[in-house]
Structure 1
Amino acid sequence: MKYVILIHSNPQPWGHPTGDYLAEHKALPAEQREKMNADFEDLLGQMQERGELLGGEALGDPASSTLYRWEAGAPTSSDGPYAESKEHLAGFFLIDVAGPERAHEVATRFAGPGETVELRPLMWPGGDDDA
């Protein structure tokens, strides 16, 4: 089953990896931060070896985005980054795992202090999201 893990973050201050810029993460002892980073790198390596990690990207500065909406019968654009939220989408990982249990197991390891992580199944052709 394919899922996307969406990394949401507050854009102030801006930077990647997002945890390095969040007050909650920076408040941890350096040794704990280093262990968390090493554990995360190990997780990514294991997922790559198992063929579960299909890809992922950090997204650019949200201030450089453009929002498109439909208004008065036509598309209109405005400067981003917000679509009615204080947070923005900072990046994503595309995974292909055996089932929902594994997807939830993986996603919990992506969430760190001060971060919000969203796990969402991909929608398959025809609108069925139960692959």
Structure 2
Amino acid sequence: MKYVILIHSNPQPWGHPTPEYLPHYQDMPRAERDRLNSEFEKMLGELHEKGELIGGEALAAPESSRLYRWADGKPLVTDGPYSEAKEHLAGFFLIDVDSHARAEEIAARFAGPGETVELRPTMWPGGDA
């Protein structure tokens, strides 16, 4: 079962890794931040070793995006972001696991101080999740 873990973050200021730019994280003692970073890197290594981590990427700042919509019978291109939102998509990880429960377990480990993480199943070409 494949799932995408979507990392949402505040676009102001923008940077990676996203926790470094969040007040909740910045207010923590350096030793605690170092511990969390170490645990996250260890988790990524474990997921990779088990074959559960397919890949992932950090995304550039929302204002660097281009949007493509259909209008008046043709594509209309505009600069992003597409919405006035407090949070924007900062990155994603694609995982392949044996169960929904395992996906939930992994997604919970991605949620850090001040962050929002979304877990969403992927769909087969026919549309079934």
How far apart, in 1, do the equivalents of 2:105 and 2:55 lie?
A: 18
How far apart, in 2, do the equivalents of 1:50 and 1:21 lie?
A: 30
Q: Shift in Å at residue 72 of structure 1?
A: 3.1
Alignment TM-score, normalising by the size of structure 1: 0.93
Q: How many residues align?
A: 129
Unpaired runs of 5+ residues, structure 1, are none
Which residue identity is paired with 1:81? Answer: P
**C-alpha root-mean-square deviation of aligned residues, in Å?**
1.1
Match of 2:98 in 1: 98
How far apart, in 1, do the equivalents of 2:54 and 2:24 lie?
A: 29
Q: Does 1:40 align with 2:40?
A: yes
How far apart, in 1, do the equivalents of 2:69 and 2:83 lie?
A: 10
Match of 2:51 in 1: 51
CA contact (8 A) 1:82 1:88 kept: no
How far apart, in 2, do the equivalents of 1:96 and 1:10 lie?
A: 27
**1:1-131 matches, cutoff 5 A:** 1-129=1-129
Q: Shift in Å at residue 11 of structure 1?
A: 0.8
C-alpha offsets along residues 59-102 of structure 1, whole Å, 9 cap, x if unaligned? Answer: 11221101122233332121112334222111000000111000
Unpaired runs of 5+ residues, structure 2, are none
Q: Shift in Å at residue 2 of structure 1?
A: 0.4
Alignment TM-score, normalising by the size of structure 2: 0.95
How far apart, in 1, do the equivalents of 2:89 and 2:55 lie?
A: 16
What secondary structure is seen at the aligned counterpart in 1 of 2:68? strand
CA contact (8 A) 1:67 1:83 kept: no
What secondary structure is seen at the aligned counterpart in 1 of 2:20? helix
CA contact (8 A) 1:9 1:115 kept: yes
Identity percentage of aligned residues: 66
